[in-house]
Amino acid sequence: MSGAVLTALLACALAGCSGRVRPGRPVPDFSLVTADGRPVTLASFRGQVLVLDFWASWCPPCVEEAPALNALAQQLAGRPVRILAVSIDTDPAAYRRFLQQYHIRFATARDPSAALMHRYGTVQIPETYIIDQQGRLARKIVGAMDWSAPGMVAYLKDLAAGRINGPLTALR
């Protein structure tokens, strides 16, 4: 992890950033550009469940969960669930190499300043926010996750279908 990112994470933690996003509450808006050049905002995902994942190419647990995120994207194709993985890589070439090497099939964007990650209160990566159709936090997952696990896939399908109301934080 670069010294600048580490310093920013520490400053964020000391400033109390980690308490900003809570289950059931609206999440901060954002404006990013995806790897294929499309602008995206939180509003771009209104009416869909968003799996917002913060990661970096140099993070071993992030590398570990990339195939499962690919599998999740494939399993939920045609459903109102989208993945947006936001890299904090400062090296654009490393970011592009990662996308190619792991054949990433879901939307990604790069935020080398890690500003969005800090606005969400992320203190380690990978960290993922599952955002409901109204832009509220349904779940926050800290650390790597097996995104293709049947329980997680069922949870996302149920959330997208409106069978789950309110935040559910116990599933892991």
DSSP per-residue letters across 15-57: HTGGGS--TTSBPPP-EEEBTTS-EEEGGGGTTSEEEEEEE-T
**What is the CATH classification number for the domain harbouring 152?**
3.40.30.10
What is the total count of domains within the chain? 1
Whether 119 contacts 17, CB under 8 Å:
yes
Polymer length of the chain: 172
Of the ranges 9-13, 25-29, 86-90, which one carries the lowest mean pLDDT score?
Answer: 9-13
7 inside domain? yes
Distance CA 57, CA 76 (A): 24
Lookup: tokens for 158: 């149920």
170 inside domain? no
61 inside domain? yes
167 inside domain? no
77 inside domain? yes
172 inside domain? no
- Provide the whole-model pTM: 0.85
Range of the domain at 102: 3-18+26-160
Q: Could you report the per-residue pLDDT of 34-51, keeping only the tens digit for each?
A: 999 999 999 999 999 999
8 inside domain? yes
